[in-house]
Chains A and B, each alone.
Chain A
Amino acid sequence: MEISTKKVISTLGIPRLIIITFMIVLCIMAIFLKLPLNDLLSDTLVRTGMNGVLVLAMVPGILSGIGLNFGLPLGIVCGLVGGLVSIEMDLTGYTAFLVAILVSIPISAIVGALYGYLLNRVKGSEMMVATYVGFSAVSLMCIGWLLMPFKAEEVKWPIGDGLRTTIALTGRYDKVLDHTLSFDIFGVTIPTGLLLFFFLSCFLMALFLKTKTGMAMKAAGDNPRFAIASGINVDKQRIVGTMISTILGAVGIIVYAQSFGFFQLYQAPLMMGFAAVAAILIGGASARRANIIHVILGTFLFQGLLTISLPVANKIITEGNLSEVLRIIVQNGIILYALTKVSSGGD
């Protein structure tokens, strides 16, 4: 018995145990405070699916050796462009959703390749450079959103120049995935389509990692010198990893938006990368090691924590937004914890 508990602790790691315990405490508190636990669980599931693909985008980055991809906003911006194009084409439903993804993939692939090329030039400082590349891209796109020649009325401000800060997807593809095949069980709504899409993405990623390219990419990230010795072009594999990460960022934001019901332009994508990074770290990944389980577990735990803590915190202290403060502390605390492990565990 003692051995098995030790094993559980070592596989889960102390940070995860703290988070899981905290979440259980929150659930118990929610019951005592007579909050509708089934609604909270439904929300957790929705938010897991909603953020999942963005978190999945971290995996190729970590495995190919560029580390935690703080430059995720780059992919997000590409996804937003794709989403706007599909509205501009006046599409609705699944067609609109799929067209948005199809449009954003080539854009994000090109951007991702260039970004990967850049990251190869700054080996050792990828995380810092990536953060500021992401920040600059978002602020540059702020100018872009003001100048882009979109005509659709939902996208443009009715008067003046530029695009709206939030673009509602009502009547377009608001919650298309969420509502597909969704059903209720014990009062908990399961967003089947959304979760299926998330798991499908995860499955495709796992499949990709088993292919020759995927193996080469993992080898390049795992031990660059060994990879070179076995004839793998490390720089090329890193570009592949960055590209896939950026593409997943683009797809991720479209999935996020269809569930959220809005596209958020301008400053909104600025900090989204950090949330995704925190989620996969909570799942048990490090700056050099990650797998699909980390993605699923991490997204579920992080989003569950946020969803459940909000009403609980609001019941205890009605003033202010305690849950938001909690998010900031947990999110950045876990990233800091992971960073202290980078130098000691890494090369």
Chain B
Amino acid sequence: MEAEKIVFEENKSESMGSNIKKILFDNSVTFIFIILCLGGIYLSKQPVPFIVNELIQRITRNSFLVLSLIIPVLAGMGLNFGIVLGAMAGQIALIAITHFKIGGIAGFVLAALLTIPLALLFGYFTAKLLNKTKGQEMIAGMILGFFANGLYQLLFLFLVGTIIPMDNPTLVLSSGVGIKNTLDLSGPEGTKYALDAIAKIPFIKSTIVFSLAGAGYYIYKFIQSKKDERLMMQRNGFIIRGFLFTVLLIVSFYVSTIKSLVNNITVPLVTILIIGLICVFNVFILKTKAGQDFRSVGQDMNIAKISGIPVDKIRIRAILISTVLAGWGQLIFLQNIGTLNTYGSHEQVGTFAIAALLIGGASVTKATIGQAIIGTALFHTLFLVSPQAGKNLFGNAQIGEYFRVFVAYGVIGVSLGLHAWKQLFDKKNKK
């Protein structure tokens, strides 16, 4: 009896060790970036309150766009480079409400509503194309982004003022044809901070509440797992997460007692609530029939087809949701930035969102909400600190700037490569 118990314990500790190894291996990309970010923060010698403040802004600004990528990944369509079209839909809506001088939250809501039909239309075309290029969805989506960019430029550079009448000196170039390069969204008629400014709460206090809730939740889960067999498997996860939340709680409590500029930082409550809502939506939809269909199509298209799931229709649905969400994501992004770069704001949306998601540890076939948020945080930390770090390290800020561009492209390239390699490997093993 005694010996048996020892063997059992040994097995357990071994599996624990290999578990940690597995966690480290599965998330190696994320860990590398955590180290890179910490190194960058150290080298850049920028004040911590500044970094925290910028980072909060950037996370609230960008995470919606990153979250819009998740559903197509689950549906087996890879990383949706077509979100560029969603971003365009958002911008078209934004230009429209700026033209009609509807500012503030009313303008923002109207733009969000206007985005829906546009994004549905663009999303439908995207999905139709991606259904024709199965197996090459990502490259097709990317080229489609470039192609749509051409049409977008045609619309706003040449058709506005010639075919589409628009008499608005603040928007249209002095020649009467074409929309200006940059549109200022500030002022009473603009939508700058339409969402962010509704309610702002202190960062540290909200973190204390948040981490308290998180720690409480996992402690509750842990206690429950003692009774419930099904939760036993996830026990280690509960311990780790509960521990992390407790650490966060202690740190934030400590910071709140000292005199630091971090205490002055506020977070936009409504924006965060909306991001939370979309997270809930993503979790919720996976539990419904529609979500199950996404997953079965994502796992194996042929099997799904045989079991009577209309594969093409499901794929169209996934892209439609993603495109609409991307449109809204771009609106959230722009209301925070405050200026619309008519011909540039949407161009890099796909690349940056995808790079952020991958840095969070996602792959072409697997992505979670946590990965999206962590990835956004890491990617933007790197964006924030790398110019200054490059300057301090090499005496040239440009190096840091090129480095972050390289990181964005490199991480996409490497993870696509690894995925393709793994697929090939699996295929060979099957044979």
Are B420 and A125 interface neighbours, CB within 8 A? yes
Q: Which residue of B lies closest to A328 (CB)?
A: B150
Residues of B within 8 A of A315 (CB): none
In chain A between 275 and 331, which residues have their CB closer than 8 angstroms to a CB of chain B?
Answer: 317, 319-320, 322, 325-326, 328-329, 331
- Docked CA distance A319–B395 (Å): 42
Residues of B within 8 A of A162 (CB): 396, 398
Residue B177 CB within 8 A of the other chain: yes
Which of B139, B146, B177 is in CB contact (< 8 Å) with A127?
B139
- Docked CA distance A131–B410 (Å): 11
| Contacts A320-B178, A328-B147 given; does A124 touch B424 at CB 8 Å | yes
Q: Which residue of B lies closest to A120 (CB)?
A: B424
What 10 pairs across the A-B complex have the smallest Cβ distances?
Answer: A132-B413, A328-B150, A122-B420, A332-B147, A329-B150, A125-B420, A135-B409, A139-B406, A142-B402, A332-B146
- Docked CA distance A329–B157 (Å): 14
Chain A nearest CB: distance from B154 CB in Å? 5
In chain B between 408 and 423, which residues have their CB closer than 8 angstroms to a CB of chain A?
Answer: 409-410, 412-413, 416-417, 419-421, 423
Chain B nearest CB: distance from A250 CB in Å? 20
Q: Convert A322-347 into 0s and 1s, putting 1 for each residue whose CB lies closer than 8 angstroms to a CB of B.
A: 10011011011101100110111000
Q: Which residue of A lies closest to B425 (CB)?
A: A121
| Contacts A143-B402, A332-B150, A343-B133 given; does A122 touch B158 at CB 8 Å | no
Residue A232 CB within 8 A of the other chain: no
Q: Which residue of B lies closest to A267 (CB)?
A: B405
| Contacts A139-B409, A142-B402, A317-B177 given; does A123 touch B420 at CB 8 Å | yes
Number of interface residues of B (CB under 8 A): 46
Residues of B within 8 A of A326 (CB): 150
- Docked CA distance A301–B167 (Å): 39
Residue B31 CB within 8 A of the other chain: no
Chain B nearest CB: distance from A344 CB in Å? 8
Interface residues of A (CB under 8 A from B): 70, 118, 121-125, 127-129, 131-133, 135-136, 139-140, 142-143, 146-147, 161-162, 274, 317, 319-320, 322, 325-326, 328-329, 331-333, 335-336, 339-340, 342-344
- Docked CA distance A344–B129 (Å): 13
| Contacts A319-B173, A329-B147 given; does A340 touch B132 at CB 8 Å | yes
Chain A nearest CB: distance from B332 CB in Å? 27
Q: Convert B361-388 into 0s and 1s, putting 1 for each residue whose CB lies closer than 8 angstroms to a CB of A.
A: 0000000000000000000000000000
- Docked CA distance A319–B132 (Å): 37
- Docked CA distance A143–B399 (Å): 6
Interface centre among B129, B178, B417 (most CB of A within 10 A): B417
Chain B interface, >50% SS class = helix
Given A329-B154, A332-B146, list of 20 further CB < 8 A pairs? A123-B424, A125-B423, A127-B136, A128-B138, A129-B417, A129-B420, A131-B142, A143-B402, A143-B406, A146-B396, A147-B394, A161-B396, A274-B143, A274-B146, A329-B150, A332-B147, A333-B150, A339-B143, A340-B132, A342-B133
Residue B144 CB within 8 A of the other chain: yes
Are B132 and A343 interface neighbours, CB within 8 A? yes
Q: Convert B130-161 into 0s and 1s, putting 1 for each residue whose CB lies closer than 8 angstroms to a CB of A.
A: 00111110111011101101110110011000
Q: Which residue of B lies closest to A135 (CB)?
A: B409
Q: Which residue of B lies closest to A317 (CB)?
A: B158
In chain B between 155 and 197, which residues have their CB closer than 8 angstroms to a CB of chain A?
Answer: 157-158, 162, 173, 175, 177-178
Chain A nearest CB: distance from B152 CB in Å? 9
Residue B403 CB within 8 A of the other chain: yes
Residues of B within 8 A of A344 (CB): 132
- Docked CA distance A340–B144 (Å): 11
| Contacts A125-B420, A129-B417 given; does A139 touch B405 at CB 8 Å | yes
Which of B142, B151, B409, B420 is in CB contact (< 8 Å) with A124?
B420
Chain B nearest CB: distance from A330 CB in Å? 8
| Contacts A124-B424, A322-B158 given; does A340 touch B402 at CB 8 Å | no
Residues of A within 8 A of B143 (CB): 274, 332, 335-336, 339
26 contacts between A and B (CB under 8 A): A70-B139, A122-B420, A124-B423, A128-B138, A128-B139, A128-B416, A129-B417, A135-B413, A139-B406, A142-B406, A143-B406, A146-B399, A274-B143, A317-B158, A317-B162, A319-B157, A319-B173, A322-B158, A325-B154, A328-B146, A328-B153, A329-B154, A333-B147, A339-B133, A340-B140, A342-B136
Residues of B within 8 A of A274 (CB): 143, 146
Residues of B within 8 A of A124 (CB): 135, 420, 423-424
| Contacts A146-B402, A329-B151 given; does A125 touch B416 at CB 8 Å | yes
- Docked CA distance A319–B179 (Å): 12
| Contacts A146-B396, A332-B147 given; does A129 touch B416 at CB 8 Å | yes
Residues of A within 8 A of B178 (CB): 319-320
Are A343 and B134 interface neighbours, CB within 8 A? yes
Q: Which residue of B lies closest to A316 (CB)?
A: B158
Q: Which residue of B lies closest to A344 (CB)?
A: B132
Residues of A within 8 A of B140 (CB): 336, 339-340
Are A122 and B421 interface neighbours, CB within 8 A? yes
Residues of B within 8 A of A329 (CB): 147, 150-151, 154
- Docked CA distance A140–B408 (Å): 11
Q: Which residue of A lies closest to B145 (CB)?
A: A332
Are B129 and A336 interface neighbours, CB within 8 A? yes
Residues of B within 8 A of A131 (CB): 139, 142
In chain B between 223 and 264, which residues have their CB closer than 8 angstroms to a CB of chain A?
Answer: none
- Docked CA distance A325–B423 (Å): 38
Residues of A within 8 A of B406 (CB): 136, 139-140, 142-143
